[in-house]
Amino acid sequence: MQRFFLFLFAVKSLTLHAQQKTDSTFSKDMDEVVVTATKSPRLLGNVAIPVSVINAKTLYQSGSLRLNEILSEQTGIVVTDNFGKGIQVQGLSSDYTLILLNGEPLIGRTGGVLDLSRLSVRGVKKIEIIKGPSSSLYGSEAMGGVVNIITYDAANYKSDLNVRYGRFNTMDGSFDYARKFKHIQVNASFNVNSSEGYSLKPNANQKTVEPFWRSFQNANLSGQFNKHMKYGIGLRYNNTYIKNSINVQNGGVNVLSQGFEKSNEFNINPYVEYELNKSFKNVTRAYFTGFQAVQELAVKDIASGYNDRFQQSYIKFENQSNIQLSNYSEITFGIGVIKESVSSNRYDSLSTRRFNQILYTYAQWEKKLTPTLVLVGGARYDYNSAYASVLSPKIAFKYKLSHNIDFNLSYGRGFKAPDFRQLYLNFTNLAAGAYSVFGTEVAKVEMKRLIAGGLLDQATAMYDKLNVLKPETSGGLNLGMNVNFKKDLSLHINLFRNDLSNMIVTDIIGYKKNAGQIFSYFNLKRGLTEGLEAGFSKKMNGVFTVNGGYQFLYSADKDVLDAITRGQVYQRDLHTGIASVMHLKDYGGLPYRSMYTANVKLLYSSKNGVFATLRNIYRGKWGSVDMDGNGLINRSDEFAKGYLQTNASVGYKKDKWELMAGMDNIFNYKDPANLPGNPGRLSYINLQLHF
């Protein structure tokens, strides 16, 4: 409660100093049209939930190639490096953030993480980021938020060639093409990206990041049947090849073994849009996508190694109608069906396909209650063949105190469905202690098989608690304020809290006679994340812009908080090794979360075509490893060090070409143990030609 009083005090102070009339960059930003927040076009300044936009100019001048690179510079987002490049939003892990391409979900997650390094930002018009539960419109995986990558349409003629070369023999080439013909518009992008990889350990045979090659092709076609009806289709194909070299023990000697990983992905997204008049619009969409991945490692003269295969498909049909009841009221209604399947030799066998079907409907009502107060309410109902049905409501308010000051308040329920891995995984790792992990749908069958074969030593008490997994759920509250000062200064503040229930965790259900552990999945944990996010933007002299952001985050396992309060948790002193009762002040929260993150950016852009950027990104310390065996983060030696990364770029733009040079991680910060995906200093040069 004290936090809210402090927030209201800050509001009062800002209100007294804000001006009533100004022409700032903030005002122009508020005129940006966004679609992700409400599934229909809205001015950013009129949206009642936390939304931010990364435009094409920012994407280019940052020098970012992949989605994870540009997201790492955004306030309130932390890029993680586990099963690929994932993100945390408001302290919620990658599992809880939905990644969309032109409004449709991307698949192919590993360990719950969709690797953002798969996604190029070439040919991207903008990226919209929604923070907080969004399941009321998007269903599962949108518990923490949504990132929507929006590519260009054929609004303008364009033929652009882009070539970049950087450290570690990193090469990137792309070609973007857009044309309007008589009856059809075409936009296409082609990209190839490769690197020889790098090692953070000198003279090591095995590289930290292996050599890779990626490519993607993307095309959007659209046209009109008549003045009321138009059509379109989006097409995308993406593939990746990674060469692996892994040290394997053979008779006490390290043997360098060769392997590879490759994946490919396709997306097909046709739609038909019918607009009767300004009061009624209907869109029918279909979406077909598939993802395949192969990992192979052959170890000479050793019976280990692996040959993993994974295939996933996702098909969706959806119809959405927008009905404008009056100038002050609009209803959005949608209904759809999803059919997804997966097969893997880690899920029994590659020939066995697992299926899931989802029927859903959603509705949203937007009402202007007064000239200064807007209400948005909605809900989505998901009927799923693999788990219980879920209702996800949401309500939001937008209040304009004046022309320059507005407030937004929103509360929503989010959910995440158990994934195929948690339901059907059947995996035994012979090279690492012969442990096994069984999904809840196969665990009892596999345990009976081990008993029948005389391979099971004992079952634990958790075995009797095996049950049908429920969806993970959350309640998310956001309270925000935007203030527009004179002299091109803007400020935004957002308080947030997410309460999570039925969180899915792994636990031991038995031991094999060879001492191998057996794991499965349970709805056991309750968690919370809460904090404050603030940002500012200041334009100076017409050519300089300074902007920055800060996030304070508190995260915790609620059951741990209860146990600490009851005096049931112990810790061991770092220096003496003596055990003692743990107190709340010693608890470091959920692992891999930083309490403090911040960024400050200086941008220069002149009328003669010269631009420059200097971007500083700070991440505070975060819990990394449990050293005293209590399963918690509580000692100073259990934290990874915080760090500051400085990136810079400079460029010159003429009518037909642009030249840019840049350097990321200028001060060459490295932490091989905790940041294996950070190679140190990266320099590059980039040339873009416009035909």
Write down the pLDDT at residue 48. Answer: 85
pLDDT mean over 147-168: 89
Residue 451 contacts by C-beta under 8 Å, 6 or more apart in sequence?
none
Average pLDDT, integer, range 646-673: 95
Residue 69 has pLDDT above 70, yes or no: yes
Asked if residue 512 has pLDDT above 80, the reply is: yes
| CB 617 within 8 Å of CB 643 | no
Yes or no: say if 263 and 108 are a contact pair by the CB < 8 Å rule: yes
CB count, 10 Å around CB of 240? 19
Q: What is the mean pLDDT of residues 133-156?
A: 90
Other C-beta atoms lying within 10 Å of the C-beta of residue 487: 10
**What residue type is assigned to position 4 of the chain?**
F
**φ and ψ at residue 524, rounded to 5 degrees:** -120, -35
Which range has the worst mean pLDDT, 38-42, 205-209, 469-473?
Answer: 205-209
Q: What is the 3-state secondary structure (H, E, C) of 624-635?
A: CCCCCCCCCCCC
| The pLDDT of residue 24 | 33
Which pLDDT tens digit goes with each residue over 676-690? Answer: 888 999 999 999 999
Map residue 514 onto helix, strand or coil: coil
- Choose between 105 and 301: higher pLDDT: 105
User: 153 or 229: whose pLDDT is higher?
Assistant: 229
Task: Please compute the mean of the pLDDT values over residues 595-601 and round it to a whole number.
Answer: 98
Residue type, 295: Q
H helices within 73-147, ranges in order? 135-138
Whole-number Å distance between alpha carbons of 16 and 402: 12
List of residues 6+ apart from 454 with CB closer than 8 A: 513
Reported as a single tens digit per residue, the pLDDT across 556-588 is 999 999 999 999 999 999 899 999 999 999 999
**pLDDT confidence bin for 489, thresholds 50/70/90:** very high
**pLDDT range class, residue 81, cuts 50, 70, 90:** confident
Cα 588-590-595 angle, rounded to 5 deg: 60
pLDDT value of position 431? 64
Model confidence over 280-330: pLDDT tens digits?
999 999 999 999 999 887 665 555 567 889 999 999 999 999 999 998 899
SS3 category, 353: coil
pTM (two decimals): 0.92
Residue 470: is its pLDDT beyond 50?
yes
Tokens of 138: 């998007």
Q: Between the CA of residue 25 and those of 57, 234, 329, 406, 602, what are the distances in Å?
A: 14, 33, 29, 16, 15
Q: pLDDT-derived band of residue 10, with 50, 70 and 90 as boundaries?
A: very low
pLDDT score at 231: 95
Checking if the pLDDT of 7 tops 80, the result is no
Instruction: Please give the mean pLDDT across all residues of the chain.
Output: 89
Paired tokens of 528: 């919370």
- What pLDDT does 217 receive? 94
Mean pLDDT confidence for 105-127: 92
Asked whether the predicted pLDDT for residue 75 surpasses 50, the reply is yes
Q: Tell me phi and psi for residue 37, to 5 degrees.
A: -65, -35
Q: Which pLDDT score is estimated for 58? A: 94
d(CA 331, CA 578): 63
Contacts of residue 691, defined as CB under 8 A and 6 or more positions apart, other chains included, come to 159, 160, 161, 656
**Cα dist from 218 to 35, 152, 234, 431, whole Å:** 21, 10, 8, 40
Residue partners of 630: CB distance under 8 A and separation at least 6: 569, 570, 571, 572, 582
Residue 3 has pLDDT above 60, yes or no: no
State the pLDDT confidence band at 256, using cuts at 50, 70 and 90: low
Which of 140, 6, 88 lies closest to 529, judged by CA? 88
pLDDT: is 232 or 14 the higher one?
232
Judged against a pLDDT cut of 90, whether residue 233 lies above it is answered with yes
Please report, to the nearest 10 degrees, the dihedral formed by the alpha carbons of residues 431, 436, 442, 444 taken in order: 140
pLDDT for the residue numbered 304: 58
Instruction: Check pLDDT > 70 for residue 6.
Output: no
- Quote the tokens at residue 455: 């391979």
Distances (CA, A) of 650 to 122, 606, 661: 19, 12, 6
Q: How far apart are CA 176 and CA 156, in angstroms?
A: 12
**Model confidence over 416-460: pLDDT tens digits?**
999 999 999 998 887 667 899 999 999 999 999 999 999 999 999
Supply the pLDDT for residue 264. Answer: 96
% of the chain with per-residue pLDDT over 70: 92
Which positions ≥6 away from 354 have C-beta within 8 Å?
Answer: 341, 342, 343, 347, 420, 423, 424
Position 111 confidence tier, pLDDT thresholds 50, 70, 90: confident
Q: How confident is the model at residue 491 (pLDDT cuts 50, 70, 90)?
A: very high
* Rounded Cα distance, 519 and 462, in Å: 10
Phi/psi for 2 (5° steps) reads -60, -35
Q: Copy the structure tokens of residue 81.
A: 């490096």
